[in-house]
Amino acid sequence: MQQEEQENLKTTETLYRCPKCQDREFIINGNSARPCECQELRRYERILEASGISQAFKQKTFKNFSADNKSNEIKIAKQTAMEYVMGFEEISKQVSNSIAFLGQVGSGKTHLSIAIANNLMKKLVPVLYMPYRDVITHLKQCITDEVNYQREIAKYKTASVLMVDDLYKGRISASDTNIMFEIINYRYLKGLPVVISSELNTDKILDIDEGIGSRIIQMCKGRLIELQGANLNHRLTS
């Protein structure tokens, strides 16, 4: 009997991505239903699919990020990213629960960030992708409608894990920093992790806004990786 139950459980796990709710996104109990923990993850997956980058996103893995024959900096960056995923359950409870890849263009910062996101989502940890320039532009367009603005920015403030890609890319205005302060400060106070990639180093991030920069540094303490040198640009050396 016990063997039969185990076989049935294995069959259920094979049929459904989430055996708890059988992919309904709600757990049914008699005449009542409650949201399943996978619901937020599915919502983020739909956002990714709607953005048109879903397939490109899924193709970025640790396995296809090659650190062979590359600098020690790149190897350390990959190892730190992998350790972050492996230890995320405990790391997420800490004050410094975030990770950032800063510096050299073409060094694989976005690839490693996305690989982290993909691996966390496989563990049913929801990650919301925030392409910095596109989202900031969208939020600034919403800013005259307070209700709409608060609804849109809330997605990035409250996401379980937020991945900010290309932080401070392009020309930076006061509106840009005000929006980012609102997002980062909320997440800092609530202990919500961020995964950040940026072409800027810590000094430049602090120069733009010390309040934002100092919070990011504290949130990413021990996992703030700066990559420097044109020799790390795989687009020029591959």
pLDDT per residue over 135-183, tens digit each?
999 999 999 999 999 999 999 999 999 999 999 999 999 999 999 999 9
Report how far residue 27's alpha carbon sits from residue 72's, in angstroms, rounded to the nearest whole number.
Answer: 47
Residues in the chain: 238
Report how far residue 211's alpha carbon sits from residue 163's, in angstroms, rounded to the nearest whole number.
Answer: 19
pTM: 0.81
Domain 62-236 homologous superfamily, CATH = P-loop containing nucleotide triphosphate hydrolases (3.40.50.300)
Q: What would the two tokens of residue 18 be?
A: 């989430």
CATH 3.40.50.300 in the chain: give the residue spans.
62-236
Paired with 227 in beta bridges are 103
Q: DSSP for 177-215?
A: HHHHHHHHHHHHHHT--EEEEESS-HHHHHHH-HHHHHH
DSSP for residue 16: -
78-97, pLDDT tens digit by residue?
999 999 999 999 999 999 99
Residue 147 parent element (H or E): helix 146-158
